[in-house]
Amino acid sequence: MYHIVCPTKYRKVIFAKKEIDEALKNVCLEITDRYEIDFLEIGVDKDHVHFLVQAAPTYSPTKI
């Protein structure tokens, strides 16, 4: 399991709208379908995103 935090460039507020949150979650679901990566939780704040990811041992954190 990995906890990954992805801030936006210059901490710009991007995730203030629900449409953008839903689009991000849909992209994560598509990634789950294609690879052996499961997004257990996705936490969205205004200027960053938290991912709790479970992946196969063959994937390194940098590959995820």
Phi, psi of 43 (to 5 degrees): -110, 125
Nearest to 42 by CA among 22, 57, 13: 22
Positive or negative, the CA dihedral 48, 50, 53, 59 is positive
- Whole-angstrom distance, CA of residue 2 vs CA of residue 18: 25
Domains of the chain in sequence order: 2-55 (3.30.70.1290)
Indicate the pTM of the whole model. Answer: 0.82
pLDDT bin (cut points 50, 70, 90) of residue 58 is confident
Residue 2 has pLDDT above 90, yes or no: yes
pLDDT category, 64, cuts 50, 70, 90? confident
Q: What is the largest CA-CA distance in the chain?
A: 35
| Helices and strands: H and E segment counts in the chain | 1, 3
pLDDT tens-digit readout, 21-57: 999 999 999 999 999 899 999 999 999 999 999 998 8
Q: How confident is the model at residue 26, as a pLDDT? A: 95
